[in-house]
Amino acid sequence: MKNFGVKKGENIDEAHEYGKLMADRLVESVPNISEGRDQAVISELAAGIQAIPKVALLDIHSDPDHNRSVFTIVGEPEAMSKTLFGLVRQAQSLLDIRQHEGEHPRIGVVDVVPWIPFRGVTMEDCVTYANDLGARVGQELEIPVFLYEHASKVSSRTKLEIIRRGGLSTLRARMNISHEWYPDYGPSLLHSTAGAIAVGARFFLIAFNVVLKSADLVVAAHIAKIIRTSGGGLPEVKAMGVFLTARKLVQVSMNLTDYRVTYLRMVFEAVKQEAQRYDVDILESEIVGLVPRAAWDDTLFNDLKLRPMGSDPVLESRLEQSSDLQI
């Protein structure tokens, strides 16, 4: 059992409360790995996460068309730091961004690592954790690190989509010609096989995709443009149209960056309304990863035509059921 520093004569109850407080410090992270097809690699990365005490791997969502896997992890901050660094190091050894093909924008084999306050941890704490991880990845793994959202140090690249815009080749060009695009940590050149990585601190994000009964990418792209915040649509929504090669269908792929402002049912209805203008129906929708309990109700399965997930989609429920991290 971990020693919390109880000395002879100290109040045992106070030490117990301190230990309880430490256990109540939890963060979430949803690292996105640029691999969604090779199950052997995905399993090896998962095993590396599961080998670290005081963290729980709650979900893995892999998509072969996006060629991307999203790992949902909750744990104590110090254990999470060890876990995330190990994940980046392992992915660097297993993957090569030069060989990657997929529909989702990305800048590296580990595309993005967010720190998200879960319990007993502030956003300012997560900014510190993001900087500590970024510094270590930059120095020890020689991968350029760009900080984003609350952790950002350069106002013009606070948003993740700005860092990703144009893909890896465009990022390389910006790094070559502009001091504004020197990374926050690590070398000012892309790593030959790992590319770059975005590390940030942010609020809970819900990744939500709606699949249309259509193969017309123009339709999906138009709907995405209409509903996203940057196009004058719903607040706190990012969206893009994606062609699903394996299914010969199109998808409106979205991030709800604040479910308290724009919630799942609202964005689904907006997509449905715009699709009707093209006489296109919705086939189904899916949640990538998990959702906070405050954003969920059981009627959403039918109302959103959600694809069956096989287990509870609520983050807190998965954590309560986890044997890796008792809460």
What is the pLDDT at residue 1? Answer: 27
Q: Which two three-digit tokens encode residue 196?
A: 């770059």
> Which domains does the chain possess?
23-201 (3.30.990.10), 206-321 (3.30.70.670)
Question: Strands 206-212, 282-288: parallel, antiparallel or unpaired by DSSP?
Answer: antiparallel
Residue with tokens 């809970």: 204
Mean pLDDT, consecutive 10-residue stretches, the chain (327 aa), reads: 33 42 81 96 97 96 93 97 98 96 88 97 98 98 98 96 93 93 96 97 97 98 97 97 95 97 97 97 96 95 91 92 68
Cα angle value 29/145/63 (rounded, 5°): 50
Neighbours of 70 (CB within 10 A): 21
For the annotated catalytic residues, the residue numbers are 104
What is the pLDDT at residue 105? Answer: 83
What is the pLDDT at residue 15? Answer: 38
